[in-house]
Amino acid sequence: MRVIIRSEDNEIPVVKINWTAADVMTLYELSFPELLYQAQTIHKKHFPKGTMQLSTLLNIKDGGCPEDCSYCPQAARYHTGVKAKKLLTADVVRKQAQAAKDAGATRFCMGAAWRELKDRDVLAIVGLIKEVGALGLESCVTLGMLTETQALALKEAGLDYYNHNVDTSPGYYQEIITTRTYDDRLQTLGRVRDAGIKVCSGGIIGMGETREDRAGMLITLASLDVPPESIPINQLVPILGTPLANADPIDPLEFVRTIAIARIMFPASRVRLSAGRTAMSDEMQTLCFVAGANSIFYGEKLLITENPDIVKDRDLLKRLGLKVEEHQQVKTTCQ
């Protein structure tokens, strides 16, 4: 099936391609300069303004998750020092969202360490979404699996994006997670899309997966009826107490290659440089931006993982001459 998608400025049509493993592996095998040239050419065509979108993530409910995701310090079964806490109040979230807006973020993301959203918590989450929308910020939440009814309730509250990562390829997934199936994740993404909410979905690089697995993850996302509007690419942060605590670090150039291929495969999507940025040099981040990453998680923390602070981020963007996306370009009225 060929689907016409519109770019950020709704001017450039994008034809959805039925990507194969051979197609993606061919991209991986290009010379590094050629791959970055192709990615940057596509990036400039679909994002001519060249702005960097800033998102801030607040963990609204820490710890106690029953899942066994091998990378995650929030899992109750691992001894990582993360204590289970209650859902944050609306007052706390409002203050954090205002601080994020004041610092220049245009999207405010809220994450809860849940396997799935419980019906008893829907009303509270709806209230938090409305608080963020009232500030003129884009809202995004990641709450685990959703039912159709719950997805519709979040849409009615004005939710802009729902994050639900596929994490890795279908074939490697069981090496990382056994408490939730790959199909569970795809079903939630389908319910989000059916409810009219934009999709934020990506994965984690550096969990011991092969290059073929990275290709498989991207093909999964490209195979959705409509590709995600936002694609976070995370570099694994090994955390003591998790099964992946001693994972070998990913080759930085291999990570940049994956960013470039994501840009080529998803020309109209925001590709976000997400977790693991504190382990990246300025030069590595710069290569990621050249490769087509045009969104970053920005602020003091990404979940419990340290994230480059605002001053450092702003300094790097200034040194590179990259402009930050302004609020009026994103959302001027709340729903």
Query: Annotated catalytic residue: which of 69, 107, 185, 191?
Result: 69
Number of other CB atoms surrounding residue 332 within 10 Å: 8
Closest C-alpha to 129, from 60, 189, 191: 60
Bridge partner residues of 203 (DSSP): 167, 233
Active site residue 69: yes
Query: Annotated catalytic residue: which of 2, 6, 72, 270?
Result: 72
- Between CA 67 and CA 204 the distance in angstroms is 17
Per-position DSSP letters for 39-68, written without gaps between them: HHHHHHHH-TT-PBEEEEEEEEE-S-B---
Q: Is the dihedral of CA 277, 281, 283, 284 positive or negative?
A: negative
Query: Annotated catalytic residue: which of 109, 214, 263, 288?
Result: 109
Phi, psi (rounded to 5 degrees) for 277: -70, -25
Number of other CB atoms surrounding residue 141 within 10 Å: 26
Active site residue 72: yes
Residues 6+ apart with CB under 8 A from 119: 150
Number of other CB atoms surrounding residue 35 within 10 Å: 21
Query: Annotated catalytic residue: which of 214, 257, 272, 277?
Result: 272
Query: Annotated catalytic residue: which of 107, 140, 180, 214?
Result: 140
Query: Annotated catalytic residue: which of 185, 191, 200, 288?
Result: 200
Phi, psi (rounded to 5 degrees) for 295: -155, 145
Q: Is the dihedral of CA 107, 44, 41, 307 positive or negative?
A: negative
Active site residue 334: no
Taking each helix axis from N to C end, the angle separating 119-134 and 148-156, rounded to the nearest 10 degrees, works out to: 20
3-state helix, strand, coil in the chain (%, to 5): 40, 20, 45
Residues 6+ apart with CB under 8 A from 268: 5, 6, 7, 8, 12, 14, 46, 227, 229
Catalytic residues: 65, 69, 72, 109, 140, 200, 272
